[in-house]
Amino acid sequence: MLVVVACIVILLGLLMPAAQGVLKQVDKAKASTDIATVSVGLRQYYNDYGVWPTNTSATLTAPMLQDVYLILTGSNQNSGNPRHIVYLHIKAKDLKGVSTTLSSGLYPVSAGSATTNWVDPWDHSYMMSFDTLGSNSTIIPGGTANASFAVWSGGPDGAVDNASTTAAKNSDNIVSW
């Protein structure tokens, strides 16, 4: 009996690293899917209204992203989406409370001293930037991307590495461009 238990423990020990690798790939796939979903919603919004849901070309801060989220979900009662078309659905399980000092995220809604953000699988906020000047150049960390908009996640380490750093440092970032 002890030999059987020992064999099972050894087999489990051999399988655990493989299972962890699969889980990491699942998280990266979820982040890529989320970014693709937002990208589709942004393109549809632009096709309907001819403008981006923001008027700044800088990387968006929490209050600006709150407006973008409300516009894309059709929740904005004031402006930006007068027809209340739903371009984006976000699951409640993907919303997390974060510090109000956070400078980016997609779903910041005031909740006392905290902000609720739409977060990636590692609980870091997604980030966005738009080309509001029509130059097909969007500001991203460390430079620009030849795109009308950019959506990205810092990946497992949460660090949004500069584009000028080595590819190895950027390998965990998930980006739309």
- Region 86-102: what's the mean pLDDT? 68
Looking at the chain, the whole-number percentage of residues with pLDDT higher than 90 is 15
Looking at the chain, the whole-number percentage of residues with pLDDT higher than 70 is 76
Q: Where are the domains of the chain?
A: 52-175
For the record, the structure tokens of 59 come out as 């990387």
Average pLDDT over all residues of the chain: 78
What is the reported pLDDT for 169?
55
State yes or no: pLDDT of 36 exceeds 70.
Answer: yes
User: Residue 150: beta bridge partners?
Assistant: 129
Burial 44-81 (b: 16+ CB within 10 A, else e): ebbeeeeebbbeebebbebebbbbbbbbbbbebeeebb
Put the strands of the sheet holding 127-130 in their side by side order. 127-130, 149-153, 174-175
What is the reported pLDDT for 71?
85
